[in-house]
Amino acid sequence: MTTDIKKHEEPGSMPTATSTLAPHSDVPTGHKTEPGRAGGGLFDPKQLVKSFPDAVRKLDPRVMVKSPVMFVVEIGSVLTTVLALKDPGDWFGWAITAWLWLTTIFANLAEAVAEGRGKAQADTLRKAKTDTVARRLAKDGKSEEQVPGTELRIGDLVVCEAGDIIPGDGDVVEGVASVDESAITGESAPVIRESGGDRSAVTGGTKVLSDRIVIKITTKPGETFIDRMIGLVEGAARQKTPNEIALNILLASLTIVFLLAVVTLQPFAIYAGAKQSMIVLIALLVCLIPTTIGALLSAIGIAGMDRLVQRNVLAMSGRAVEAAGDVSTLLLDKTGTITLGNRQAAEFVPVKGTTEAELADAAQLSSLADETPEGRSIVVLAKEKYGLRERHQGELAHAEWVAFTAQTRMSGVDLSENLEARKVRKGATGSVIAWVTERGGTVAEDAQTLTDAISQAGGTPLLAAVEDDKGARVLGVIHLKDVVKEGMRERFDELRRMGIRTVMITGDNPLTAKAIAEEAGVDDFLAEATPEDKMALIKREQAGGKLVAMTGDGTNDAPALAQADVGVAMNTGTSAAKEAGNMVDLDSNPTKLIEIVEIGKQLLITRGALTTFSIANDVAKYFAIIPAMFAVAYPGLDKLNIMGLASPESAILSAVVFNALIIIALVPLALKGVRYRPMSADKMLRRNLGIYGLGGLVAPFIGIKIIDLLISSIPGIG
């Protein structure tokens, strides 16, 4: 009995053509090297030595004034130096002076080390930036002229062939070629760049490995991605973010408050008969103001940008990195981000009267001439799941192969008499049904039910059929599905614990989109999405006070990338997309958006943790200095000397020494960042208060006591 089956022909179930080049993918397959990654760990002693001259140069008041807290420390260092020179025999004055200068230099050293790591990356990037001679096409589009790469202008057309260095950033407008981008991305596997579509962008300084392409220049000389990366990693292009500026204002306010407190303290001291020297008052001020976070704030910001660069992400501004840490909604493309991108054969479902082995054999035979990813996956599934040996076209020399075409939407093979004469076909349901019915064959009654079930599950059904001495008939259904990347559900669970809502964007119909969304574990999905739909979704989220991040690579993604708070454009994408976004992923890995959010959160957490530690530090130092200053006038204050410090001079000096050493001790943490764990905001606050708040209170008591014991053991001091 012949049953009429609906044609489940979904657009793109099989690509219309395959590349003649080697198999290519922008998913990293080769050896990965991180360009410019400074060696020697986070706190390389060689890097300290290299950065020390820069730290000294940063003592310039015009530089120091940018950090109000450390500028006050520098002024205090100058004043104590003058006072020490007036009384050369005062060992206490010289000791305080020396440690105040060290405090200032250590603060500069933290920033210099962070910048030094960036300069090491910049040196490597400069090696990739070479002066090239470009083959510019004349206006007639045929003749060529050789010009220096520095003379190229936006809109110029240049020709590059195998072995040529691409002279500037642009889009491929003609041809297809294999390109080595290892100098930029650190990825040794070459990538394919071709005209049209979303893989047309090329970067200046990369090398063409094969074929011939014509490139339209899209950037001015000196404004290429390499130039922008060099400026970024050196810190020259880094501007302070809004949160960083706000924190600087808070630190400046606290400094003013403590300055007024110390200034007004002297009249009370004089009245009590315990006048304090200017050196002691300066030491008190330096210990009470938040010098720790003031010294490390810039290094934290630079290190955050550095971590992005190490992952081959170019951020156009520090604001984007900070916004990534506050993101509450992630928009993720389904294809290539959540799924592998190519549908894969998942199972063979035979109709009644047919065995799985028979269906698998027919499916494999009919797919040998199908070079699409779907066709190759069918051959592999038959081999791995059903134990069929993978056969090749060459083994069946007398067979007639039927290659897949967009017109027939089928592939197959006609086997000759001596090879058990039969014809096997596999393809879109409508095409296979038409082939069977033309030969007077039958379509099993349950074929309709099977194809409907696969479609409702979000998959793509392909039919397999055979014509032999029993006649033409459908053997069963091949289930193709968009395979969700391994570990994506766990990643989305982490994001959910972080309080981030995930939305999958896809052009699929709602039924398919729902099935993929449920399997992947995303919170929501937008099916049959158009550029206008993406924009509307972003605006709705932002209207609710949420920050939105998304990835994109096509010109149609540009409006949404520009609207999003964090827009990550793929380096393989079009120039329009890269100009619209505020970040560019040089590896073109859409899943990296999740890492970018984690880096942003780590930056904010590190800043908050060290701010908590710094303020808690000041409380402990108060218990060291105040009792020492007034113990003579008010003996009762000696009860506050809970550390049992040896003498007033030793107590004050110990606090100043600890204040300097804690900065250098925290530099590795500022550079590496506080480890981020997905958790709610209130849990994170409690964790930070418990570790860095309590740690900031306890550490000074222990540290100052140890330093006091060492100082008091020195003859003539204790």
- The residues annotated with a catalytic role in the active site are 333
Secondary-structure percent of the chain, ordered helix, strand, coil, rounded to 5: 50, 15, 30
SS3 157: strand
138 labelled as ligand-binding? no
d(CA 541, CA 331): 11
Return the closest-CA partner of residue 652 out of 702, 708, 695, 698.
708
SS3 608: helix
d(CA 602, CA 612): 15
Cβ atoms of 288 and 613 within 8 Å: the answer is no
Residue 350 dihedral angles phi and psi, to the nearest 5°: -80, 155
486 labelled as ligand-binding? no
d(CA 329, CA 585): 19
Element (H, E) at 173: strand 170-180
Residue 33 dihedral angles phi and psi, to the nearest 5°: -125, 145
409 labelled as ligand-binding? yes
406 labelled as ligand-binding? yes
d(CA 372, CA 580): 33
Structure-block tokens of residue 582: 């505020």
374 labelled as ligand-binding? yes
Return the closest-CA partner of residue 703 out of 635, 629, 613, 605.
613
d(CA 414, CA 425): 9
411 labelled as ligand-binding? yes
Element (H, E) at 214: strand 212-217
SS3 166: coil
115 labelled as ligand-binding? no
d(CA 177, CA 183): 17
Q: Provide the CA 22 distance to its chain's centre, in angstroms.
A: 29
d(CA 42, CA 53): 19
Structure-block tokens of residue 44: 């390389």
Tell me the β-bridge partners of 428. 462
161 labelled as ligand-binding? no
Residue 29 dihedral angles phi and psi, to the nearest 5°: -125, -20
Tell me the β-bridge partners of 479. 347, 461
86 labelled as ligand-binding? no
Return the closest-CA partner of residue 74 out of 83, 82, 65, 86.
65
The CB density around residue 477, as the number of other CB atoms within 10 Å, is 29
> Can you list the positions of beta strands (E) in 240-368?
313-315, 329-333, 339-350
Structure-block tokens of residue 6: 């609906």
d(CA 266, CA 280): 11
Instruction: Please enumerate, by residue number, every residue annotated as part of a binding site.
Output: 370, 374, 404-411, 426, 553, 557
Q: Which residues are annotated as a binding site for Mg(2+)?
A: 553, 557
Binding positions for ATP: 370, 374, 404-411, 426
